[in-house]
Chain A
């Protein structure tokens, strides 16, 4: 038997978290340099599920790329497809009927709630509480059932089309969505009592994992992570697109900069999304869901187009450089979690490993979206 390894004082060792570790929520590998229980340095290693979505966007025609966008972020797929269709519509000059715009907003917000719910469950599970995950998934299931009845799919929707929608929503969906809103409000109260008020939960998150507003600016962080650090930025308000100016909603901002603030932002965002869905259902106009005049072959004029949207994880940008052919010349995706994740190294230095993993959970990483 060999002698146990003795670590000298001041000596560090390397700890690999992932690429297959439940706490990383996917195939992310973190090379941590540890001094006992404390992190000296953490290097994030990507590339385990790189699928070349950007290159695919350049090799295929515009409609053929549509299914790819849902494969970026499997939890909030609607938001990403929304960005893509908006960018191509802007490039090709396609008018969108009003009803389609409203349905899109409702769908994106429902999907945002579903995404936050799953994050909420997984985040509490990272901290050791299993029960809230089950409650969150039960509520999420209602949303997925509603979306499945309309789009035919549960995760990778591929529901938006250039100029409109794949198929129209029916009364069943409207009734189900109306019934869902009070149910979800009740559930949010339940979560607040069960999780937010819990003393263990509070002790694990309060004043832990600080990310300053300055650091957010340095790394280009966006979404709930930036809003938890006191940066009042939401693409829906700051650069309004689609029908969002028509809705009355608030952007929750917390100034504590800790993991609890990021949690609170997401919990408040769910309530705001419910408000948008409610207003959208009230204002939903009748009419067609596809424009009358739609080009058969989508060939945007040569130029450079950019569209940013607010997805569940932050500001997602899509840049299309067209050379006038049916394929894009350059197809660039700016994914929010890519920037959010890179803060992890700087933010976790000197932290205990359990706190660092709790902070990583609060960043809401979805790896296929970082590594696209």
Chain B
């Protein structure tokens, strides 16, 4: 009989302790952020979708070697390039050389898993992560990002 009442007393006491903790918590500072009105700054290393990096003259650093294309686990990257002849001065002589110029860099974000293998495989530092996270659309085509176009838009 004593044990019965003892348990009731102990049980009530444990409930009061719990209520005390939640009551104390009531006066703690707010830790949440009211999202659409206030946003948090993304961390420095945040891995969003990829973005092309430009050089000093505003052209993409990319040399269209296709390393990222091969490294991608889901074949999300497709790029195209054309060969351009240009002249350089080597030891006082003008010489024509060929180089590849990027004409298309498309990221299929519907299959991208944001793993960062493309960024890591790039030997020229031409691909980086964006801080973009507000991505929503009703159309699938909106997630086929034309990164070259995005770069041009950023510059204009």
A contact set with B: CB distance below 8 Å: 60, 63-68, 71, 131, 135, 138, 141, 145, 148-153, 156, 158, 166-167, 190, 193-195, 197-200
A60: contacting residue among B31, B46, B47, B73, CB under 8 A: B73
In this complex, which of A67, A150, A156, A200 has the most chain B Cβ atoms within 10 angstroms of its Cβ?
A: A67
Asked if A135 and B45 sit within 8 Å, CB to CB, the answer is: no
Known: A67-B113, A166-B116. A199 touches B21 (CB 8 A): no
Q: Which residues from A are CB-within-8-Å of B45?
A: 148-152, 167
| Closest B residue to A134 using CB positions | B25
CB distance from B107 to the nearest CB of A (A): 16
Alpha-carbon distance A64/B69, docked complex (angstroms): 12
Asked if B25 and A152 sit within 8 Å, CB to CB, the answer is: no
Q: Which residues from A are CB-within-8-Å of B15?
A: 198-200
Asked if B115 and A67 sit within 8 Å, CB to CB, the answer is: yes
* Per-residue A-contact encoding for B13-49, CB less than 8 Å = 1, 0 else: 0110110011001000001000000000001111100
A194: contacting residue among B18, B43, B114, CB under 8 A: B18
B22: contacting residue among A131, A141, A145, A156, CB under 8 A: A131
Q: Which residues from A are CB-within-8-Å of B114?
A: 153, 156
* Per-residue A-contact encoding for B115-156, CB less than 8 Å = 1, 0 else: 111001000000001000000000000000000000000000
Alpha-carbon distance A149/B44, docked complex (angstroms): 7
Asked if A135 and B116 sit within 8 Å, CB to CB, the answer is: no
Known: A199-B11, A199-B14. A64 touches B73 (CB 8 A): yes
Known: A167-B45, A198-B14, A199-B11. A152 touches B116 (CB 8 A): yes
CB distance from B80 to the nearest CB of A (A): 23
B17: contacting residue among A63, A150, A151, A193, CB under 8 A: A193
B contact set with A: CB distance below 8 Å: 7, 10-12, 14-15, 17-18, 21-22, 25, 31, 43-47, 71-73, 113-117, 120, 129
In this complex, which of B11, B12, B25, B43 has the most chain A Cβ atoms within 10 angstroms of its Cβ?
A: B43
| Closest B residue to A193 using CB positions | B17
Known: A67-B73, A158-B115. A197 touches B17 (CB 8 A): yes
Asked if B14 and A63 sit within 8 Å, CB to CB, the answer is: no
CB distance from A265 to the nearest CB of B (A): 21
A199: contacting residue among B10, B22, B25, B113, CB under 8 A: B10
Alpha-carbon distance A5/B76, docked complex (angstroms): 55
Alpha-carbon distance A34/B47, docked complex (angstroms): 48
In this complex, which of A60, A66, A135, A153 has the most chain B Cβ atoms within 10 angstroms of its Cβ?
A: A153
Q: Which residues from B are CB-within-8-Å of A65?
A: 73
Asked if A193 and B18 sit within 8 Å, CB to CB, the answer is: yes
Q: Which residues from A are CB-within-8-Å of B21?
A: 190, 193-194
A64: contacting residue among B25, B44, B117, CB under 8 A: B117
CB distance from B39 to the nearest CB of A (A): 15
Q: Which residues from B are CB-within-8-Å of A151?
A: 45
Asked if B47 and A153 sit within 8 Å, CB to CB, the answer is: yes
Alpha-carbon distance A67/B47, docked complex (angstroms): 13
A198: contacting residue among B18, B25, B46, B73, CB under 8 A: B18
Q: Which residues from B are CB-within-8-Å of A167?
A: 45
Alpha-carbon distance A310/B31, docked complex (angstroms): 33
Asked if A158 and B14 sit within 8 Å, CB to CB, the answer is: no
Asked if B71 and A63 sit within 8 Å, CB to CB, the answer is: yes
CB distance from A305 to the nearest CB of B (A): 21
| Closest B residue to A148 using CB positions | B43
Alpha-carbon distance A67/B120, docked complex (angstroms): 13
Q: Which residues from A are CB-within-8-Å of B31?
A: 138, 141
Beyond known contacts A158-B116, A194-B22, A199-B11: 4 more, CB 8 A cutoff: A64-B72, A66-B115, A145-B43, A148-B45
In this complex, which of B12, B25, B73, B129 has the most chain A Cβ atoms within 10 angstroms of its Cβ?
A: B73
